[in-house]
Amino acid sequence: MRIYFPHAKSYRLPSKDPFYCVSFYILKRVRKPKFNMPPLVRYKIPIIGHTYSYTFNSEEFLKQCKKEYGGIFSIYVWGQVRTIVGKEYSQEVLSRDDAFYFGKAFFEIIPYDLLLKHMGLVNMLNMPKLLKEHIFCKLNFYSERMQKCLHSATQKYIDSNVHDDPKVFDNMYFLIIKIISTPVANVFIGEEESKNDEVVATFAEFTSDLSALIKIPPFLNFFYPGLLNRILVSSGLYNPAIKHRNILIKYIKNQVCKRLQEKAKYGDSWKRPDDLLQDIIEQENIDFNNVNYPSLADKMLLFLFASIHTTSNGCANAFMDLASHPQYIQELYEEQLEVHKEADENGVLPFEALDNMKKLDSFIRESLRLTGHILALDHSVLKDYTFSNGLQLPKDHTVKIYVDDIYQDELLQHVDTNVPASKIGKNFMLFGGGKHACPGRHFAINEINFFLYNIILKYNICTKSGKIEGRRMYSPTAYPSSSGIIIEKRVK
Ligand code: HEM
């Protein structure tokens, strides 16, 4: 078994000779200028440090730390020192893209270099550009297809199960992820394959399978950050990419062969399919007789993780919040009835109709803002950095943004009713910020708006418990509630 360490250089010991080791240590201390690091929160048990409080009581634990140590402090969890950045300095982290980077910290949890080994780092770094050039600038063009897919998927996964009586659905996330995956599959690999159950299942399951890696306690971080997940993936003990790559290769091959034949048959009159797959084939000038299918499939898998789990999480939260707050439903229903007047005979809205879903969009924004993470947006320090308050962090350190600190601040809690859900801001950082702020946020918000528009028009929904269902916490990370929801068809 081989385990790859992307930053192995910094972990190589010079020798086992004790004299050499001591000299090396002294030399390192002398050479390294003393950093004015954020205060490390006191702990009693060596090795364990703050791991227990961080895992089981993060909200109270971090509140206490902030009270005692101020806006930036460090904690010792799973064998690593991590710096927690509160509301005063979080914008500094998000706006200084020369000093902080999201992707590298994420690699530590999800080892993409091992999971998607056929695509290469350059392709990975190119992903935002590719999506911007081929999808995000064509949201209007894809809007009709997005809506049709959402309609048919809602029909398939909800409508067909709700007959004359109300029906209870548990864990909406797993149902919503399939609905969200359908338009994404349509835009990524084409109309035809998005109708295939196996394709939609792969789009939905790859991201939820990867989420399991996020939930595994990182016991081996004491030796090397991310080591446990690297072992699990590289040994094949848990590598969801293998199964999903094989499925994608099957369908991508099917498409490529079909397109090749049709192009040869119809020549100039061939109707070129519009989707990301075709865009990639043309942009990269792929030779049809020598296609690197594993690389193409890995590219799709990378896009999936960025787009599906995130959107489904937001959508499931908004759905649960709607069911938990029946007092808002009538007003939102009236707005959607008005918007529906703009629909064509197939129920498809013009793209501009999104501008008229102001209340729904505002509801979604509020639900996204209150996603409920205590800590989020881990960033790696790219170069030695000095905060505006003089505290310093060395290169390769990891910071976590204390998002709950922002939500707890009364002054930042005002609700911006006229601000679109996609607008990032000081109290709205679900999509990150600065140069690397999520470029897919408009795509995601459009999808959630169109989905909920449909739900509100068609169904009455409420929680089975009759109470507000909050988020499910897993350490400092929030997930949508899995509690039961009652869905009933509206009587028109
Ligand atoms: C509610 C849904 C979504 C959430 C919460 C979300 C969140 C995020 C966050 C937090 C980042 C990192 C930002 C930073 O470094 O400051 C990010 C980056 C990114 N997201 Fe999203 N995202 C969502 C939907 C999507 C969708 C649908 C796509 C694609 C179709 C997408 C594509 C990307 C890409 C390509 C990046 C990397 C940007 C870069 O490195 O410059 N996201 N997203």
The beta-strand segments (E) located in 189-292 are: none
Give binding residues as ranges. 438
HSE value, Cβ hemisphere, 13 Å, CA-based, for 134: 20
Q: How remote is the C-alpha of 273 from its chain's centroid?
A: 28
CB 193 within 8 A of CB 185: yes
- Which CATH class for the 8-489 domain? mainly alpha
The best mutation among 438, 450, 477 to test binding of ligand 1, ranked by most ligand atoms within 8 Å of the C-beta, falls on: 438
The 8 Å CB, 24+ separation contacts for 452-456 are: 452/315, 452/318, 452/319, 452/322, 452/360, 452/364, 453/336, 453/339, 453/349, 453/357, 453/360, 454/150, 454/151, 454/154, 455/154, 455/158, 455/319, 455/322, 456/322, 456/329, 456/332, 456/333, 456/336, 456/360
All structural domains of the chain with their residue ranges? 8-489
With CA atoms as reference, report the closest residue to 130 among 313, 296, 268. 296
222 CA distance to ligand 1 middle (Å) = 30
Distance, CA 431 to ligand 1 centroid (Å)?
6
- CA distances to 1, 38, 60, 70, 86 from 67, rounded to whole Å, are 46, 14, 11, 6, 11
Place of tokens 């394959």: 193
Where does ligand 1 bind, in terms of residues with CB under 6 Å? 94, 102-103, 127-128, 131, 306-307, 310-311, 314, 377, 430-434, 436-441, 443-444
Tokens of 283: 């942009």
Q: How many distinct helices (H) and strands (E) make up the chain?
A: 20, 12
The ligand 1 atom nearest the CA atom of 443: 27
Q: What pLDDT is attached to residue 33?
A: 60
What are the binding residues for heme?
A: 438
Using CA atoms, how far residue 21 sits from 29, 31, 34, 130, 355, in Å, is: 12, 15, 20, 47, 65
Give the pTM.
0.91
Q: What is the pLDDT of residue 427?
A: 82
Token readout for 122 is: 């350059």
CB 381 within 8 A of CB 400: no
- Whether 273 and 190 have beta carbons less than 8 Å apart is answered as yes
Tokens of 409: 């601040």
Tell me if 148 sits within 8 A of 155, measured CB to CB.
no
pLDDT in tens, the chain (492 residues): 333 333 333 333 334 455 554 454 444 444 456 789 999 999 999 999 999 999 999 999 999 999 999 999 999 999 999 999 999 999 999 999 999 998 777 888 899 889 998 887 767 778 899 899 999 999 999 999 999 999 999 999 998 888 878 999 999 999 999 999 999 999 999 999 999 999 999 999 998 899 889 889 998 999 999 999 999 999 999 999 999 999 999 999 999 999 988 988 998 899 999 999 999 988 888 777 788 999 999 999 999 988 999 999 999 999 999 999 999 999 999 999 999 999 999 999 999 999 999 999 999 999 999 999 999 999 999 999 999 999 999 999 999 999 999 988 878 777 677 889 999 988 888 999 988 899 999 999 999 999 999 999 999 999 999 999 999 999 999 999 999 999 999 986
Dig out the tokens for 152 from the structure: 């048919």
| C-beta of residue 230 within 8 angstroms of C-beta of residue 114 | yes
Nearest atom of ligand 1 to the alpha carbon of 308: 27
Joined tokens for residue 275: 């989707």
Max Cα–Cα distance, the chain, nearest Å: 84
